[in-house]
């Protein structure tokens, strides 16, 4: 017996809410499975989900969440992705361009604040959207808010950086190579540990065109266009691969 | 204590009594509560309570395959659970006696 759309959405929202509240994945599975079992039997007997979760799904999710201990260890898994991504992007970009890394203190502090803003914003929004029963489009719009805000913040930092004088931290040639290698090893370690190659794929998509086109005799504008084409194609291919994999997994479980 | 909190305390006790009678799973408990007249309480209310009771060691659970759908979680009382039930019964009888006495005397 298949569940109604509304019940399935509720279970998915609960799953995301508990996950973004930092609960243990096994415990989340346990309670969502138990509720799924309940909903299947209730719907088979002609009851609606409102009779099960009450008037406020959001209050109900909170009461479930309140009985579960936070599982910081497994939630922390996603932090390196947000932290490593932008840092790796900046550092590899500058290594390719200059070979030596040097940043103003203002810029370094800016990156740290940007990272914190991003993490906080995304987790607040995730909690908000999963507790309210909103449509997918609305969820995507709301979710993009903290991402846009934190990016604007970082652009502001980059802009102000040209105007404000703070000491420059110069890493030197050896320091730059060491820092680059450390980030590289961290990315490899994170990819193996989290079982996702998103960071290497995005970095490759962004920097491969530069490396490939650097020595060609093409004009700057054609380099730019071809470069963008390669970047979008690589990311597109990766997303296509992920979606195909997800779809296969879903069909397999039905 | 708010009204819902008092209600939760009462449902807690009733759940302990239901589980004590026979090992059972969530939906069964909700149905039984409904049959006994607790139909103003939404069925899902029992799960946060069960989670807390399990954490406090009043109930244990085992998972068994069900005919349709996912595996089912069956609950049974522990020794501590039986003790909590006995205490609840005592508290409830006292409360019932007091409330009845008040009503009887004051409504005369």
Q: For A75-125, what is each residue's pLDDT tens digit?
A: 555 656 666 777 788 888 888 888 888 888 888 888 888 878 887 887 787
B78 vs B61: CA distance, rounded Å: 10
pLDDT at B1 (0 to 100): 42
In this predicted structure, what is the pLDDT of residue A147?
75
End-to-end CA distance of chain A, in Å? 12
Question: Residue B24: which H helix or E strand, with range?
Answer: strand B24-25
| Lowest-pLDDT range of A32-36, A59-63, A209-213 | A209-213
**The pLDDT value given to residue A134:** 57
Tokens 């846009």 correspond to A148
Contact (Cβ atoms closer than 8 angstroms) between residue B76 and residue B23 = yes
Q: How many other CB atoms are found less than 10 A from the CB of residue B16? A: 24
Query: What was the ipTM of the complex prediction?
Result: 0.87
A171 Cβ partners below 8 Å, 6+ apart? A100, A101, A102, A179
Query: Measured between CA atoms, how close is A139 to chain B, in angstroms?
Result: 25
Task: Count CA atoms closer than 13 A to B101's CA, side-chain side.
Answer: 6
**The predicted structure's pLDDT at residue B44:** 92
The reported pLDDT for the residue numbered B61 is 93
A113 Cβ neighbours under 8 A, 6+ residues apart? A153, A157
* Chain A: residues touching B (Cβ < 8 Å): 1, 30-31, 33-38, 40-42, 47, 50-55, 60, 63-64, 66-68
What is the C-alpha separation between A92 and A36, in angstroms, rounded? 46
The CATH code for residues B3-106 is 1.10.10.10
Q: CB distance A67–B51 less than 8 Å?
A: yes
User: What's chain A's average pLDDT?
Assistant: 82
Catalogue the E-assigned strands of chain A: 101-104, 168-171
Flag whether residue B4 sits within 8 Å of chain A, measured between CB atoms: no
| Interface contact B48-A64, CB threshold 8 A | yes
**Phi and psi (nearest 5°) for A70?**
-70, 145
Comparing A20-24, A188-192, B27-31, the range with the smallest average pLDDT is A20-24
Q: What is the DSSP letter of B23?
A: -
Percent of chain B with pLDDT over 90: 69
- Residue B26 with chain A: CB contacts under 8 Å: 34, 37-38
Report pLDDT for B58.
94
A53 and B44 within 8 Å at the Cβ level: the answer is yes
Instruction: Evaluate whether A6 touches A52 at the Cβ level (below 8 Å).
Output: no
Q: Which of B47, B52, B71 is opposite residue A35, by nearest beta carbon? A: B47
Task: Pick A249 or B13 by higher pLDDT.
Answer: B13
Confidence of residue A67 (pLDDT cuts 50, 70, 90): confident
pLDDT at A254: 45
CA distance A154 to A232: 23
Nearest to B36 by CA among B20, B17, B52: B17
Q: Which of B42, B48, B70 sits opposite A37 (nearest CB)?
A: B70
């Amino acid at each position: 017996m298949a569940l109604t759309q509304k019940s399935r959405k509720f279970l998915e929202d609960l799953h995301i809410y508990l996950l973004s509240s930092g609960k243990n994945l096994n415990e989340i599975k346990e309670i969502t499975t138990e509720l799924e079992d309940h909903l299947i039997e209730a719907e088979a007997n002609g009851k609606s989900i409102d009779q099960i979760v009450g008037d406020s799904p959001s209050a109900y999710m909170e009461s479930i969440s309140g009985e579960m201990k936070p599982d910081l260890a497994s939630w922390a898994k996603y932090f390196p992705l947000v932290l490593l991504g932008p840092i790796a992007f900046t550092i590899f970009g500058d290594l390719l361009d200059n070979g030596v890394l040097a940043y103003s203190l203002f810029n370094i502090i800016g990156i740290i604040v940007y990272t914190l803003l991003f993490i906080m914003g995304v987790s607040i929004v995730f909690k908000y959207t999963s507790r309210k029963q909103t449509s997918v489009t609305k969820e995507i719009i709301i979710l993009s808010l903290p991402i846009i805000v934190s990016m604007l913040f970082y652009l502001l930092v980059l802009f102000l950086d040209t105007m404000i004088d703070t000491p420059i931290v110069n890493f030197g040639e050896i320091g730059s190579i060491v820092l680059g290698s450390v980030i590289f090893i961290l990315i490899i370690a994170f990819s193996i540990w989290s079982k996702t190659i998103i960071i290497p794929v995005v970095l490759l998509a962004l920097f491969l065109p530069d490396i490939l086109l650097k020595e060609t005799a093409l004009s700057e504008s054609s380099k730019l266009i071809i470069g963008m084409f390669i970047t979008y194609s690589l990311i597109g291919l990766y997303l296509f691969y992920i979606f195909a994999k997800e779809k296969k997994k879903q069909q397999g479980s039905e | 204590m708010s009204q819902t909190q008092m209600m939760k305390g009462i449902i807690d006790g009733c759940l302990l009594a239901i589980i004590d009678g026979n090992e059972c799973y969530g939906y069964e408990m909700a149905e039984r509560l409904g049959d006994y007249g607790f139909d103003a309480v939404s069925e899902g209310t029992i799960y946060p309570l069960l989670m807390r009771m399990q954490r406090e060691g009043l109930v244990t659970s085992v998972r068994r395959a069900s005919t349709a759908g996912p595996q089912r979680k069956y609950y049974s009382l522990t020794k501590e659970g039986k003790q909590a039930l006995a205490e609840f019964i005592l508290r409830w009888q006292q409360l019932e006696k007091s409330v009845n006495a008040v009503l009887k005397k004051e409504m005369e």
